[in-house]
A and B are shown apart, each in its own frame.
Chain A
Amino acid sequence: MTKQKKDRLQGTLELLILSVLSSGPSHGYSIARRIEIISKDALSVQQGSLYPALQRLLKKGWVMARWGVTDTNRKARIYELTKAGKEQINEEVSAWKLFSMGVGAVVKTAKLS
């Protein structure tokens, strides 16, 4: 896998996490579930790969984590957006929109057999 390709996939996963977290703090398992549910299972993320992405977001300072208790009263690491994360999300979303519009425009010209 070339570095660029890997970067884009990683970036996409990070964007998904940021989007989920924008509606409120959440823990790993529930982030994975919500990505599946919201995307109507279209994006099936291998759940484990969430964690490297979360570590990268922690390092960038866009999310923070603390040990806490979930709605269902389970012990878990709860992640939430930092101020920087909230600012970042707009940027990431518009970048994504630009990208997908571009891809969409090109894809539209494809001749389907």
Chain B
Amino acid sequence: MFAKLLKRIAFELQSLFGRKTLEENLDEEIRLHLEEMVEDLIAGGKSPEEARNAAMREFGNVEGLKEECRDSWGMRFVETLFRHLRIAGRQMIRKKGFTAVVVLTLGLGIGVNTAIYSLAKLVIFQPLSFPNADQLVAIDERTDQISSLGVSYPNFRDWQERQNSFSAIGVSRNGGFSLIGPDSSERINGVRITHEYLEVLKVAPLIGRLFSAEDDHPGAEPTALIGERLWRNRFGAKDSIIGETKNLTGQLYTIIGVLPAIYPIESRDVWTPLGLIADKGVFPDRDNHPGLRAIARIKPGIKLDQARSNLERIAADLAVEYPNTNAGHTVTVESLQDRLYRPSKPPLVALLGASGFLLLIACANVANMQLVSSQGRRHEFGIRVSLGANRRQILGQLVVECLTLGLAGGAAGILIALGSIEWLKTILENVVPRIGETGIDGSALAYAAAMSIASSFLFGLAPLRQAMRLSQKEAISLGSRSSESQQGKKWKAVLIVGEFALTSALLVGAGLMIRTTDNLYKSSPGFQTDQRFTFSWTLSGTEYSEAEKRIQTVERAQEKLNGLPEVSSVSVVNPLPLSGSGNGTVYYVEGTPLPAPGKSRSTERIVISHTYFETTGIRLIAGRLFNDFDKADTQRVAIVDKTFVERNFPNEDPIGKRFINGRGPPSDPKFWKQIVGVVEHVKMRGLSTSTREQMYLPIRQSTPRDYSFVLKTKGDPNKLNNAVRKTLFEIDSSLPVYHLSSFDSLFDDSVSRERLLMQLLGVLAALALLLAAVGIYGVLSYTVGQQQREIGIRMAVGANRGSIRNLILSNGAKLAGAGLTIGFLASLGLSRLLSGMLYGVSTFDGASFGAVVIVLGVVGLIACWLPAHRATRIAPSFALRGD
């Protein structure tokens, strides 16, 4: 059995590769056969000529027999394929224009799809690059009011002790460090972590070791891990870094290891053990959520739901044990991947959908072109049928032609994808995580190939179906202009309606995003960002441990910066609006009932110099600004925003009222803060994020180490970098100046997600509109051309030009109307994908829908009117004569 199979395979291979030999053998054999026969006949007494004729007669049709032999060589399929390919190639070359348009159209559709697929694959399908990344979760405390609190340190320790579903839980807290060198210092990204944190991720150090429990407690020898990027850029990737000590924000740390640049930790420069400071400041306070983020690894075999209910039970127990701090607190447990990618998923899904639409439109266009061209080829097929080609051969030919076109389009698409992905990478750099890793890899190529084949069948379907119905008589009946079949008309109508529908849905999506971006730019966050320059400065080190020293230094810096010729006013603030950070704190208003546990109100806490409102243009509504008389030892004062007033003093004058940052009255009445002014509410965290009430405190009474400066400038704020650096260097050269930027560009960054989505959807919609316009025009003008004879007859019997034009226009309008209706219905559903990203627009936005109707209406009108106009200009006699 096996041997037989081998023999069979050997024969097939010989057929395939030894084709020439087989052919030669057969020729030679037949020649020898005839020769022998002729000789025999001559020997039997015939003349050579008679003998040859008789032999030929006896032998039969040589070519026919040879063909029959070839059949049995099993070469038919490959040979047929090659023949089809040859013909397809000839067709493509002969119809250069047609081929170019088809390949370009498909290339556009496939290319855009492949590029966006490559992006989406990363975010939607690719797991994080840690071992068993599906076991990783992010954990958050939450209350009814605040969806994501982080975790307080004592709660985290209790979770750790009581849980039985996780192999490890760790927490981290972001914060910058100043890396202080002998001659200069720089600001680096840092993060404090418990030693379990890296155990959760199961990340191995490039060199050195990770933290252990001995490094992670108060009083331990200070140690630090550094990131690969810092290691390479700053320390020359030397192994000798291990064991060196570095000055981080005034304290010496021993470097014990280097961590690889793996998302999401690749952007970190340094890690230090949280345990070193766990007994200090806010950490021992169960009530305080100091920006600690918890991650954990679920034990193998335990489901996410089980782990979640485990922690929920613990949180419920803690709420009973510590009602003052934990009442109303529960936990969120979700996959780490979901947590990290959630913000970039909806825009990518929207883009993936939009690019799918674009491809469908491209296919519809090509299908149209194919229909038109196959109409012209009916004659050719008819002749081939009458010459003995069977339907299968013709269908095979068409399939091969479609596939060839589709694959050529796919190849063009890959080129387009390669180009556009580089562009996408540059514009989406800060929006989509890990985008640097994106590229056209094997799976993207496979995706492109699948798209090509799928679209080949999509656009080939119509002409194929037509060819199937091809009857010989119909096909060769002369007059290639014979009115087309009902079937063909139906297809064209479907395609036109489809193109209108797809394009209108895409345009609506783009329109909604354009309106969103427009709204974002038009609506003010409540402060002015133009002609403003900002940067940050941290007063680190023991030298600045006294508040008085910090105030002096910051005031001196403000004074010197104010002396710069380009600067008209200077102020400091912490935290800087739009910088992504914020401080929430609870408060209690004097004279109000004590809030139930977990029901305290909270407010944004912003520390400012008294010039802040002037430099940022935030309007004072009532009372006064801070001034030089508000000092560390005078009455504590605060300025609150309108929201604070509306919430706490709806019908009262807020000026002079007192409150405290805490859950009840202070131990000493001097801690009450008195409200001296009211300002407008501002959108600190960006336009699309709503914020709670806001409270401003003067830096003299509440003195942080981190400051952001806001400078109002006279000229271009982008030119201030050097002057600012120089000025602050003169004050203290060891303090790093960082995050220098114009305030405008911070604002741009805050709306970048919406802006980019608008741009990308806009590009896709523009391409779609272009394709659709070309496609609709092409079909309509062809259809009108087909109706030439009919138009001629109508005109001959007295129809005037106007009525004919109206007929054509109304036909087109019907199709366009149907398309728009379907498109709008579809976009009502689809724009829900965008709903989370819209600002100031509802998913049913009249303006967007109206604009789409107008744009597509105009496109449709032109596409109908031009051919209609042309048709009616032709003399009836000419039209009737036809060909």
Chain A residues near B (Cβ < 8 Å): 28-29, 46-49, 51-52, 55-56, 58-59, 61, 65, 74-77, 84
B30, B69, B72, B74 interface centre (most CB from chain A within 10 Å): B72
Alpha-carbon separation in the docked complex, A65 to B8 (Å): 15
Contact A52 B69 (CB under 8 A): yes
For residue B58, which residue of chain A has the nearest CB? A47
B45-88: which residues lie under 8 A (CB-CB) from chain A? 58-62, 65-66, 68-69, 71-74
Partner of B60 from A29, A46, A61, A84 at Cβ < 8 Å: A46
The answer for the CA separation of A75 and B60 in the assembled complex, in Å, is 22
- Decide yes or no whether B7 CB sits under 8 A from chain A: yes
By the criterion CB–CB under 8 Å, are B58 and A46 in contact? yes
Is B61 a contact of A84 with CB atoms below 8 Å? no
CA–CA, A74 to B37, complex, Å? 12
Q: Do B68 and A77 have beta carbons less than 8 Å apart? A: no
B61 CB to closest chain A CB (Å) equals 7
Instruction: Verify B25–A48 contact, CB threshold 8 A.
Output: no
- B29 an interface residue at 8 Å Cβ cutoff? yes
Q: Are B74 and A48 in contact (CB under 8 A)?
A: no
- 27 A-B pairs (CB sep. < 8 Å): A28-B33, A29-B32, A29-B37, A46-B60, A47-B33, A47-B58, A47-B59, A48-B59, A48-B61, A49-B65, A49-B68, A51-B29, A51-B66, A51-B69, A52-B65, A52-B68, A55-B26, A55-B69, A55-B73, A56-B72, A59-B72, A61-B11, A74-B32, A76-B29, A76-B36, A77-B32, A84-B4
Chain B residues with CB below 8 A from A28, complex form: 29, 33
With A48-B59, A59-B11, A61-B11 given, is the CB distance from A77 to B69 under 8 Å? Answer: no
The 4 tightest CB contacts between A and B, nearest first, are: A48-B60, A52-B68, A48-B59, A55-B72
With A74-B36, A77-B29, A84-B4 as known contacts, state yes or no: A47 contacts B71, CB within 8 Å: no
CB atoms of A47 and B69 under 8 A apart: no
How far, in whole Å, are A59 and B11 apart by their CA atoms in the complex? 6
Beyond A48-B61, A55-B69, whether A61 also contacts B7 by CB under 8 A is yes
The complex places the Cα of A59 from the Cα of B62 at a distance, in Å, of 21
- Chain B contact-residue range equals 20 to 34
Asked if B69 and A49 make an inter-chain contact with CB atoms under 8 angstroms apart, the answer reads no
Chain A residue with the shortest CB-CB distance to B57: A46
Whether B59 pairs with A58 at a CB distance below 8 angstroms is no
- Chain B, residue nearest A58 (CB): B11
Partner of B32, one of A46, A49, A61, A76: A76
Contacts of B60 in A (CB 8 A): 46-49
Say how far A43's CB is from chain B's closest CB, in angstroms.
Answer: 14
Q: Contacts of B29 on A, CB cut-off 8 Å? A: 28, 51, 76-77
Residues of chain B lying within 8 A (CB to CB) of residue A48: 30, 59-62, 65
Q: A47–B26 Cα gap in the complex (Å)?
A: 14
Residue of B nearest to A56 (CB): B72
Inter-chain CA distance A76–B28, complex, in Å, is 9
Distance in Å: Cβ of A30 to nearest Cβ of chain B: 9
Bound: A46/B66 CA distance, A: 14
Cβ–Cβ contact B72 & A52, under 8 A: yes
- Residues of B contacting A29 with CB < 8 Å? 32-33, 36-37
Residue numbers in B under 8 Å from A61 (CB-CB)? 4, 7-8, 11
* Residues A59 and B74 in contact, CB atoms below 8 Å apart: yes
User: Among B26, B37, B60, which residue has the most Cβ atoms of chain A within 10 A?
Assistant: B60
- Contact partners of A52 in chain B: CB under 8 A: 65, 68-69, 71-72
Q: Which residues of B contact A55 (CB under 8 A)?
A: 26, 69, 72-73
Q: Are B73 and A59 in contact (CB under 8 A)?
A: yes
Shortest CB–CB separation between residue B351 and chain A, in angstroms?
Answer: 55
Separation of A75 and B29 alpha carbons in the complex (Å): 9
A49 to B65, CA, bound (A): 7
Q: Are A51 and B4 in contact (CB under 8 A)?
A: no
Q: Of all chain A residues, which has the CB nearest B61?
A: A48
Q: Which residues of chain B come closer than 8 Å to A46, judged between CB atoms?
A: 58-60
Q: What is the chain A residue whose CB lies nearest that of B37?
A: A29
- A51 and B32: CB pair below 8 A? no
Q: Whole-angstrom distance between the alpha carbons of A84 and B25 in the complex?
A: 23
A59 to B70 CA separation, bound complex (whole angstroms): 11
> Whole-angstrom distance from the CB of B51 to the nearest CB of chain A?
14
Residue with the highest number of chain A CB atoms closer than 10 Å, among B11, B28, B65, B73: B65
CB proximity of B68 to chain A, nearest CB, Å: 4
Known: A51-B65, A59-B72. 14 other contacts (CB 8 A): A29-B33, A46-B58, A47-B33, A47-B37, A47-B58, A47-B60, A48-B61, A48-B65, A51-B26, A59-B8, A61-B7, A61-B11, A74-B32, A76-B32
| Min C-beta distance of B142 to chain A, whole Å | 75
Q: Which residues of A contact B69 (CB under 8 A)?
A: 51-52, 55
Measured between beta carbons, the chain A residues less than 8 angstroms from B65 are 48-49, 51-52
Closest to A46 in B: B60
Q: How far is the CB of B113 from chain A (nearest CB, A)?
A: 45
For residue A59, which residues in chain B have a CB less than 8 angstroms away from its CB? Answer: 8, 11, 72-74
Chain A residue numbers with a CB within 8 Å of B73 are 55, 59
Please give, as numbers and ranges, the residues of chain B lying within 8 Å of A58 by CB-CB distance. 11
Which residues of A have CB within 8 Å of B37?
29, 47
- Report how far A55 CA is from B26 CA in the complex, Å: 9
For residue A13, give the distance in angstroms from its CB to the closest CB of chain B.
12
Bound Cα distance from A59 to B69, whole angstroms: 11
B85 to chain A, nearest CB (A): 25
Residues of chain A lying within 8 A (CB to CB) of residue B59:
46-48
CB closest residue in chain B, given A57? B72
Closest A residue to B7 by beta carbon equals: A61
From 289 to 323 in chain B, residues with beta carbon under 8 angstroms from any chain A beta carbon are none
Residue in B closest to A75 when the chains form the complex, CB atoms:
B32
With a 10 A CB-CB cut-off, give which of B25, B30, B36 has the most chain A CB atoms. Answer: B36
- Inter-chain contacts of B28 with A (CB < 8 A): 77
Kindly state the separation between the CA atoms of A41 and B73 in the bound complex, as whole angstroms: 31
Q: Which residues of A contact B33 (CB under 8 A)?
A: 28-29, 47
Cα(A76)–Cα(B4), bound, Å? 26
- Which residues of B from 6 to 46 have beta carbons under 8 Å from A? 7-8, 11, 25-26, 28-30, 32-33, 36-37
User: What is the CA–CA distance of A29 and B31 in the complex, to the nearest angstrom?
Assistant: 11
Least distance between B4 CB and chain A CB atoms (Å): 6
In the complex, how many angstroms separate the beta carbon of B35 from the nearest chain A beta carbon? 8
Task: Report the bound CA distance from A48 to B31 in whole Å.
Answer: 11
Nearest opposing residue in chain A for B5, CB measure: A61
In angstroms, Cα B73 to Cα A17, docked, is 19
User: Within the complex, what minimum Cβ distance (angstroms) separates A29 from chain B?
Assistant: 5
Report A59 CB to chain B, min CB distance, Å. Answer: 6
A84 partner residues in chain B, CB cutoff 8 A: 4
State A49–B629 Cα separation when bound (angstroms): 119
On chain A, the residues within 8 Å of B61 by CB distance are 48
CB distance from A78 to the nearest CB of B (A): 11
Cα(A46)–Cα(B617), bound, Å: 107
Most buried by A among B4, B8, B32: B32
The interface residues of chain A lying within 8 Å CB-to-CB of B58 are 46-47
User: Which residues of B are found within 8 Å of A76, using beta-carbon distances?
Assistant: 29, 32, 36
Complex CA distance for A29 and B55, rounded to whole angstroms: 12
B395 to chain A, nearest CB (A): 21
In the complex, the chain A residue whose C-beta lies closest to that of B36 is A29
From A28, A55, A65, A84, name the one whose CB has the most chain B CB atoms within 10 angstroms: A55
Cβ of B207 to closest chain A Cβ, rounded Å = 65
* Contact flags B600-617 to A (C-beta < 8 A → 1, else 0): 000000000000000000
Closest-CB distance, B623 to chain A (whole angstroms)? 102
Bound Cα distance A20, B68 (Å)? 22
Q: Which residues of A contact B11 (CB under 8 A)?
A: 58-59, 61
B56 to chain A, nearest CB (A): 9
- Residue in B11, B33, B66 with the greatest tally of chain A CB atoms within 10 Å: B33
Q: Which A residues are in CB contact (< 8 Å) with B7? A: 61
User: How close is A31's CB to chain B, nearest CB, in angstroms?
Assistant: 10
